[in-house]
């Protein structure tokens, strides 16, 4: 009986062994390591290490063209455009929008160097949460180049943990990241020394650039801006391309704008500025429609539309109010935008803003007479006399020199024209102008009237102006105070300030004699002025000599005082330094420099030239340049 029981037990055991051998599952293969080769070469990495902090270093270019993130049931696709300085990133999903290059490159540059695992193991689905790799917490990361997965980076990104090898004293501990391959989510890998989790978990609002449109200003060739009233301006541009100066440089594009609607007006550079404002417009925040006030845009809306040279359409609706921020919307998007007040104002443009605002459409050669209205005293009138200018009122023997002021007048622009709701206030201000200026050109008289300066915003430091031509008044314009002041000049502002009408090359001999001292003489030899006699063993300091002759040729007075007695400012025979020059044509000029005053700038008096006999005040450095002695001019 006992033997029978033992035999039976042995049989059962044998049967169980056979059954186990037949039905057992094959053992899982030992976990393998995972690695991805970096895109930077060893030499590139070494070169980066050799660069000091202060040295500019070009970032190593990467081949990655797309980054795909999957998280929280949403797919985020980022695409690269261009390369080098022209490189940009944009979102393709969940919406089309510019992306923040820095944020995307935080992800891409994680793989600049080789990335590899230091540990791996097989886990069940129930264990994935321990590594942050369960479906609720993991983030999918895929890098693409040339349409294919780049170097096997098609991963699930899990937890980031403090590295097992701690950092040195005073240094932050490095981070390790748990990852899994998309094709094998149950094998987990520990990537040493890299935090892959933080960059891929950046919020969509951080990845998304606040730039509203992914376009360049010189891509735009059509703009429409419609006010709530229905008034509209339409601008059309002609785009031209100029090849780069070097083969590797991209071509440059220029757009020449025309005001198409309303007709009959020319346009100024405000059109190009408006194109830049559209292309560069940014929002403070993107707000989901459901989270924004239902009446955010209000009943009155500005509409801005634009088109690129390749037919891409842009549109933006902007609230009419000036509350900060100003609400706006891109039609078709389930979100609203919050614009800074100045951004909205830079987009809401009317005819008053975009039409040409040049105050005077004249050439300098055409102007024969100018009437200025100084802040104090009577009016000053200058008139052309041949190639020169003279004072017509008040009469004065000294020549006038309005040329620099005239050039400034003819390039002056208003900020904008008056808008319909401002016309009455502008007319009231101009019915009693603060001052008036006139310019004569041929048989036409241009009269500019300027109202008083305003202090209340948004008009502070501005005033109304109006051009009247041949008795016909133009539309009121809003000008800055500093622009208006260009037309308000006094007698001294308009006097000739250049002491001598010569060039440095015309000086053949220059002698400077201080009171009771030894003269310094420069003589032209071989095309250059040199000290004469030149001390033995010395040579001329070319720069010092050139500075001396150039100062005399370009000498301009700070002030011209025809009524000032010379003796009152130190211009007496025993105190002056005499500067004498002989010119290439044989003419001579003489300048007497007064002594250095204890305070302020020195005075001088020319004995030849247009300002002969009139005390003039010079800048101190000019006088110092002319008082040089031989020891200052040789080495």
Helix (H) / strand (E) containing 405 = helix 403-410
Contact 210, 284 (CB under 8 A): yes
Averaged pLDDT, 537-541:
89
As a whole-number percent, the residues of the chain with pLDDT over 90 amount to: 72
In this predicted model, what pLDDT tens digit does every residue of 578-616 receive, in sequence order?
999 999 989 999 999 999 998 899 999 999 999 999 999
Averaged pLDDT, 448-464:
96
Averaged pLDDT, 145-161:
93
pLDDT of residue 272: 96
Residue 14 phi/psi, 5-degree rounding, is -65, -40
What tokens appear for 556 in the block? 């301009």
| Whether residue 321 has pLDDT greater than 90 | no
| Whether residue 169 has pLDDT greater than 70 | no
In this predicted model, what pLDDT tens digit does every residue of 90-135 receive, in sequence order?
999 998 889 999 999 999 999 998 899 999 999 999 999 999 999 9
pLDDT of residue 48: 75
pLDDT of residue 109: 92
| Whether residue 155 has pLDDT greater than 80 | yes
In this predicted model, what pLDDT tens digit does every residue of 519-529 receive, in sequence order?
999 999 988 99
Distance CA 268, CA 357 (A): 7
Distance CA 604, CA 588 (A): 17
Distance CA 615, CA 608 (A): 12
Closest CA to 484 of 532, 528, 433: 433
| Whether residue 166 has pLDDT greater than 70 | no
Give the pLDDT band of residue 54 (cuts 50, 70, 90).
Answer: very low
Contact 502, 591 (CB under 8 A): no
> β-strands 615-617, 559-560: how paired?
antiparallel
Averaged pLDDT, 542-561:
93
Averaged pLDDT, 501-505:
93
SS3 309: coil
Mean pLDDT over each residue of the chain, to the nearest integer: 89
The DSSP code sequence of 246-293 is: STTSPPEEEEEEEEEESSS--B-THHHHHHHHHHH-B-SEEEEGGGS-
Distance CA 565, CA 568 (A): 6
pLDDT of residue 78: 95
Give me the count of residues in the chain: 635
pLDDT of residue 163: 66
Closest CA to 148 of 41, 36, 34, 65: 65
pLDDT of residue 425: 96
Pick from 32-36, 182-186, 273-277: least confident? 32-36
pLDDT of residue 12: 45
What tokens appear for 141 in the block? 């990361």
| Whether residue 201 has pLDDT greater than 50 | yes
What tokens appear for 20 in the block? 């186990």
Distance CA 483, CA 360 (A): 12
| Whether residue 466 has pLDDT greater than 90 | yes
Find which of 25-39, 240-254, 409-423 is predicted with most confidence, using mean pLDDT: 409-423
Distance CA 462, CA 459 (A): 6
Distance CA 63, CA 484 (A): 56
pLDDT of residue 20: 47
Distance CA 529, CA 522 (A): 6
As a whole-number percent, the residues of the chain with pLDDT over 70 amount to: 92
Number of H helices and E strands in the chain, helices first, is 15, 35
pLDDT of residue 248: 73
pLDDT of residue 374: 76
Task: Return all residues near 181 (Cβ < 8 A) that are at least 6 apart.
Answer: 34, 152, 154, 155, 156, 187, 189
């Amino acid at each position: 009986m006992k033997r029978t029981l033992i035999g039976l037990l042995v049989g059962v055991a044998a049967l169980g062994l056979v059954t186990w051998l037949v039905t057992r599952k094959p053992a899982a293969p030992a976990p393998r390591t995972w690695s991805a080769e970096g895109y930077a070469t060893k030499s590139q990495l070494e070169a980066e290490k050799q660069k000091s902090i202060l040295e500019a270093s070009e970032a190593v270019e990467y081949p990655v063209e797309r980054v795909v993130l999957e998280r929280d049931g949403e797919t985020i696709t980022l695409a690269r455009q261009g390369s080098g300085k022209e490189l940009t990133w944009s979102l393709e999903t969940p919406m089309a929008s510019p992306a923040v290059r820095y944020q995307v490159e935080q992800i891409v540059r994680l793989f600049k160097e080789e990335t590899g695992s230091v540990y791996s193991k097989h886990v069940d689905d129930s264990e994935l949460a321990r590594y942050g790799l369960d479906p609720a917490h993991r983030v999918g990361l895929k890098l693409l180049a040339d349409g294919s997965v780049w170097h096997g980076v098609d991963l699930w990104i899990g937890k980031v943990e403090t590295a097992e090898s701690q950092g040195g004293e005073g240094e932050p501990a490095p981070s390790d990241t748990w990852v899994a391959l998309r094709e094998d989510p149950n094998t987990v890998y520990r990537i040493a020394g890299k935090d892959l989790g933080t960059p891929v978990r950046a919020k969509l609002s951080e990845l998304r650039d606040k730039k509203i449109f992914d376009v360049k200003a010189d891509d735009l060739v059509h703009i429409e801006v419609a006010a709530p009233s229905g008034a509209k301006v339409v601008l059309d541009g002609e785009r031209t391309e100029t090849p780069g100066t070097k083969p590797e440089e991209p071509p440059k594009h220029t757009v020449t704008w025309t005001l198409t609607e309303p007709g009959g007006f020319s346009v100024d550079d405000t059109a190009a500025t408006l194109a830049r404002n559209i292309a560069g417009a940014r929002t403070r925040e993107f707000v989901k429609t459901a989270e924004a006030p239902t009446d955010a845009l209000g009943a009155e809306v500005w509409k801005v539309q634009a088109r690129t040279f390749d037919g891409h359409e842009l549109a933006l609706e902007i609230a009419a109010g000036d509350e900060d921020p100003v609400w706006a919307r891109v039609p078709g998007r389930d979100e609203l935008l919050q614009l800074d007040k100045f951004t909205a104002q830079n987009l809401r443009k009317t005819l008053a803003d975009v039409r040409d605002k040049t105050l005077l459409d004249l050439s300098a050669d055409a102007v024969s007479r100018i009437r200025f209205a100084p802040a104090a005293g009577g009016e000053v009138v200058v008139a052309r006399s041949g190639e020169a200018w003279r004072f017509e009122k008040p009469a004065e023997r000294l020549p006038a020199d309005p040329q620099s002021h005239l050039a400034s007048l003819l390039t002056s622009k208003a900020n904008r024209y008056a808008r319909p709701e401002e016309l009455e206030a502008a007319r009231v201000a101009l019915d009693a102008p603060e001052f008036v200026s006139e310019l004569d050109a041929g048989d036409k008289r241009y009269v500019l009237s300027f109202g008083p300066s305003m202090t209340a915003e948004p008009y502070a430091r501005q005033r109304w102006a109006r051009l009247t031509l041949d008795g016909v008044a133009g539309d009121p314009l809003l000008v800055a105070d500093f622009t208006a002041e260009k037309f308000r000049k006094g007698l001294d502002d308009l006097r000739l300030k250049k002491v001598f009408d010569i060039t440095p090359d015309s000086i053949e001999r220059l002698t400077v004699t201080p009171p009771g001292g030894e003269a310094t003489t420069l003589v032209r030899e071989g095309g250059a002025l040199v000290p004469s006699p030149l001390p033995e063993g010395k040579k001329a300091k070319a720069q010092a000599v050139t500075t001396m002759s150039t100062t005399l040729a370009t000498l301009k007075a700070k002030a011209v005082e025809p009524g000032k007695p010379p003796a009152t400012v130190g211009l007496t025979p025993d105190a002056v330094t005499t500067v004498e020059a002989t010119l290439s044509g044989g003419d001579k000029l003489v300048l007497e420099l007064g002594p250095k005053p204890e305070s302020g700038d020195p005075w001088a008096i020319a004995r030849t030239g247009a300002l002969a006999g009139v005390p003039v005040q010079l800048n101190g450095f000019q006088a110092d340049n002319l008082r040089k002695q031989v020891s200052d001019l040789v080495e």
